[in-house]
Amino acid sequence: MLRIGTVGFLWVWRILVLLQLSSGILGWGREGHYATCRIAEEYLTKEAKAAVKELLPNSAGGDLASVCSWADEIRHSYHWHWTGPLHYVDTPDFKCNYDYCRDCHDLAGNKDRCVTGAIYNYTKQLMEFDRGSYSAATYNLTEALMFLSHFVGDVHQPLHVGFTGDEGGNTIIVRWYRRKTNLHHVWDNMIIDSALKTFYQSDLTNMIEAIQRNITDGWSNDASSWGNCASNQTACPDPYAAESIKLACKFAYRSATPGSTLEDDYFLSRLPVVEQRLAQGGVRLAATLNRIFASGDRVAAA
Ligand code: ADE
Ligand code: ZN
Ligand code: ZN
């Protein structure tokens, strides 16, 4: 039998913990992105559905939700390294408001390189498809669709609009029940994972259906206007980011100081926030795609 001894075991343990922590830099986890895009699919118009189907890679099997984590899967590869800052936008420490001009830049200060800037950019690219001026040589619109669908999810994760100093909670080490992790990872994955186990028989479809019922019944008064954008814009990620930092201050950072243990109280009071953000992400992604692919003057594939 293989014996690695105490020192070896400690190293293996450290590597496992490191792997777990570093995965916290991703967006919502796979489940969160899948849920957001599944919800969006329900609200697509016929035109948008057709355009999405045309743009999806063959590997998606016609299902948008299956490619909504693609942007996270590629971001650590050399070729896509530049996309890292497009997953989030951070505010100055302890500022619970968001300002595009002040906050949307990467670490080197390049403007527009943040999650809201990326949503504007990929929306603009996809509008070309709608105008029929699409040429494969200009942009890869399959990638644009996959990026847009992912980033609309990300901007709804409150800690993707967090404070610069703690990297949106990534450097705040906490315990989630008995497990050591970081606050960002709690919001990307742990709240959803615990909800699946506790309330949804570990079946993501059950959770998505419960959220969908809440959209049509529970939150219906508000939900009917979630998809709207002010002043005829096609995409409007700025108010979503402003909501996120407000929620980060009120729910994510509150009572989650370094070294704290988060359990039932935190879990049960924050889960409704997570579920509503997944719902808003889905409804707003659909509304954005519906506007992008709405105009009738497309000379496309007919
Ligand atoms: N890296 C730095 N800030 C981040 C944030 N808010 N979300 C994800 N990754 C980050
Ligand atoms: Zn994340
Ligand atoms: Zn992401």
Domain ranges for the chain, please list them: 26-301
Pocket test for ligand 1, best of 21, 22, 25 (most atoms within 8 A of CB): 25
Q: Measured in angstroms, how far is the CA atom of residue 185 from the centroid of ligand 2?
A: 7
pLDDT score of 157 more than 90: yes
Cβ atoms within 10 Å of 249's Cβ, excluding its own: 18
Estimate to the nearest angstrom the gap between the alpha carbon of 181 and the chain centroid. Answer: 19
Q: Measured in angstroms, how far is the CA atom of residue 26 from the centroid of ligand 3?
A: 5
Q: Which two tokens stand for residue 126?
A: 């996809």
Q: Measured in angstroms, how far is the CA atom of residue 4 from the centroid of ligand 3?
A: 37
State how far the Cα of 189 lies from the Cα of 24, in Å rounded to an integer: 8
Q: Which of 44-48, 126-130, 179-183, 283-287 has the lowest mean pLDDT?
A: 126-130
| Whether this model's pTM surpasses 0.95 | no
* H or E element at residue 193: helix 191-199
Mean pLDDT of 243-251: 98
Q: Which of 23-32, 182-191, 274-283 has the lowest mean pLDDT?
A: 23-32
Question: Closest Cα to atom 2, ligand 1: which residue?
Answer: 167
State how far the Cα of 56 lies from the Cα of 176, in Å rounded to an integer: 37
Q: Measured in angstroms, how far is the CA atom of residue 105 from the centroid of ligand 1?
A: 12
The share of the chain scoring above pLDDT 70, in percent, equals 85
Q: Which residues of 99-113 are buried (b: 16+ CB within 10 A; e: fewer)?
A: ebeebbbeeeeeeeb
Q: Which residue has the tokens 């016609």?
A: 62
Q: Which of 72, 77, 39 is nearest to 160 (CA)?
A: 72
Tell which CATH classification among 3.40.640.10, 1.10.575.10, 1.10.268.10, 1.10.1060.10 matches the domain 26-301: 1.10.575.10
Q: Measured in angstroms, how far is the CA atom of residue 298 from the centroid of ligand 3?
A: 31
Q: Which atom of ligand 1 is nearest to the CA of 164?
A: 3
State how far the Cα of 180 lies from the Cα of 261, in Å rounded to an integer: 9
State how far the Cα of 192 lies from the Cα of 199, in Å rounded to an integer: 10
pLDDT score of 297 more than 70: no
Which ligand is closest in space to the CA of residue 24? 2
Question: Exposed, middle or buried by CB within 10 Å (0-12, 13-18, 19+), for 49?
Answer: middle
The per-residue pLDDT for 82 is 97
Q: How confident is the model at residue 181 (pLDDT cuts 50, 70, 90)?
A: very high
Using CB distances shorter than 6 Å, the residues near ligand 1 are 25, 87-88, 90, 159-160, 162, 167-168, 170
The share of the chain scoring above pLDDT 90, in percent, equals 83
pLDDT score of 8 more than 80: no
pLDDT score of 3 more than 80: no
Amino acid in position 230:
A
Estimate to the nearest angstrom the gap between the alpha carbon of 18 and the chain centroid. Answer: 22
The per-residue pLDDT for 221 is 86
Question: Closest Cα to atom 3, ligand 1: which residue?
Answer: 167
Which ligand is closest in space to the CA of residue 98? 1
The per-residue pLDDT for 167 is 98
